[in-house]
Amino acid sequence: MSSILILGGAGYIGSHTARYFKDRGRELVVYDNLSTGFRDSVKNITFVEGDLHDTRGLERVMERHRVDAVIHFAAFSQVGESMVNPEKYYYNNLAGTLSVLRAMVNQQVQNIVFSSTAAVYGDPVRIPIVETADKKPKNIYGKTKLIIENILKDYEGPYGVRSVCLRYFNAAGAHPDATIGESHRPESHLIPLVLQAALGQRDHLDIFGDDYETPDGTCVRDYIHVMDLADAHYRALEHLQRGGASAAYNLGNGSGFSVRQVIEAARYVTGREIRAEVRPRRAGDPAILIASSDRISRELGWQPKMPELDRIIATAWEWHRTHPDGYER
Ligand code: UDP
C-alpha cells in the first residue's frame, strides 16, 4: 500500500495533520529532524528522524514506504527571526525544499501539498486578500515561501509534479483532546505567549506596536484553527490524488482580530489577568492580514468547523493548562 510522507510532521501544524490523516486510516510516515518538532507529538505514528538536506535519506524513505505524495511542513516560520538571520531561512526553507524536490523527481513522486503563508502578500491593497492579489513579501520568511511556490510551478511540466500550496493565515488552537498542541522553544507566537502569561509563566505580553493604521493601533490577523488546517490538507491531497490541477489556496476564517482583541479574548476564556506592555514594532509585520478563503470553499468544499476566536483560544488553553511545559524533552 502506498503512503504519504509528512515532512516536518513533528511540528505544530504537521503533528495535527498527521493525527488527522491517521484517524482517517491513511498510511503515513513522518520525517522530521526534531530541530523544532517533538517526537511525542507523533506517538503511534511511523517516524523517521532525518534532515531535509539528506536527499538520499529522503529517497530511501520514499522507496521503503512506497510514498506517492508528500506534505511538506518542514520550515522555519518566525517572521522576526527571518529578518535577523536570513541565511537560516534561505538554507533550510529553500535549499531544503530543493533537496525534497530532487528526491521526488528521482523517485517519481508527483504530488505535493506545500505549506505556504499569508506572508507572501506583504501589505495587502485590499482586504480580504484573494489568491490573485499582488505578492510583495515584507519579510524573508514570506520570500522563501513565495520563491518555492514559483519553483513548484516550474516542476510541473518537465517532471509532472503537481502541487497545492496552502497559504495559512495565523494557525492557532490545539487538538480538542488536548494531547497535542502548540509548543515552540523559545515561543514567539502570540496566542501561546498570551496563554503563558495567563499561566503566570511570564510576567506580561509585549505588544509589538500600537501605532498601526488599524482600529486600536495593533496588528490585525486572521486566526484559523489548526484542525481546520489539517482538514484542508486532507482535501488538498485527495484533490491531487484524484488527478486535480495544481493550485494555491488561502486558509483563514475571513475575520480579523487585533493583538489587543486576542489578549481580551484570552482574559475572557482563561479568567486570568494578563498584563500587556506596548513595545516598538517588530520588523516585517504587515498591519492587517485577513483571508478570503472562497476559492478553497468553492473548489475543495472546505469550511472551517471552528471559526470562533474564543473556541480556538479555549482549545489552546486546554493544551497549555494541561501541558504547562509543553512536550517532555
Ligand atoms: N505579536 C505581539 N507580541 C508578541 C508576539 C506577536 O504583539 O509577543 C504580534 C505580532 O507582531 C503580529 C501578531 O502578534 O502582529 C501575530 O504574530 P505571530 O508571531 O503570532 O504570527 P505572524 O503573524 O507573525 O505569523
Cell of 265: 479574548
256 pLDDT band, cuts 50/70/90, is very high
Taking CA atoms only, the protein residue closest to ligand 1 atom 10 is 208
Taking CA atoms only, the protein residue closest to ligand 1 atom 21 is 189
Question: Which protein residues are within 6 Å of ligand 1, measured from CB?
Answer: 79, 170, 188-190, 193, 205-208, 219, 221, 259, 282, 285
Centroid of chain to Cα 256: 18
- CA angle, corner 68, sides to 65 and 70, nearest 5? 95
pLDDT of residue 1: 82
pLDDT at 189 over 60: yes
Q: Which of 20, 31, 89, 141 is catalytic?
A: 141
pLDDT one-digit tens code per residue, 157-173: 999 999 999 999 999 99
pLDDT of residue 329: 54
257-269 average pLDDT score: 98
pLDDT of residue 328: 76
pLDDT at 193 over 90: yes
Distance in angstroms (rounded) separating the CA atoms of residues 75 and 85: 14
Distance 1 CA to ligand 1 centre (A): 42
- pTM of the predicted model, to two decimals? 0.97
pLDDT one-digit tens code per residue, 107-136: 999 999 999 999 999 999 999 999 999 999
Q: Catalytic site residue 327?
A: no
ipTM over 0.90: yes
Residue of 78, 168, 221 with the most ligand 1 atoms within 8 Å of its CB, for mutation: 221
Place of cell 503563508: 117
Distance in angstroms (rounded) separating the CA atoms of residues 242 and 244: 6
228-239 average pLDDT score: 98
pLDDT at 143 over 80: yes
pLDDT of residue 129: 98
Question: 297 versus 284: which is more confidently predicted?
Answer: 297
172 has which bridge partners?
A: 225
Distance in angstroms (rounded) separating the CA atoms of residues 165 and 248: 4
Distance in angstroms (rounded) separating the CA atoms of residues 55 and 71: 16
pLDDT of residue 122: 93
pLDDT one-digit tens code per residue, 24-82: 999 999 999 999 999 999 999 999 999 999 999 999 999 999 999 999 999 999 999 99
pLDDT one-digit tens code per residue, 80-113: 999 999 999 999 999 999 999 999 999 999 999 9
pLDDT one-digit tens code per residue, 220-229: 999 999 999 9
* Cβ atoms of 152 and 163 closer than 8 Å: yes
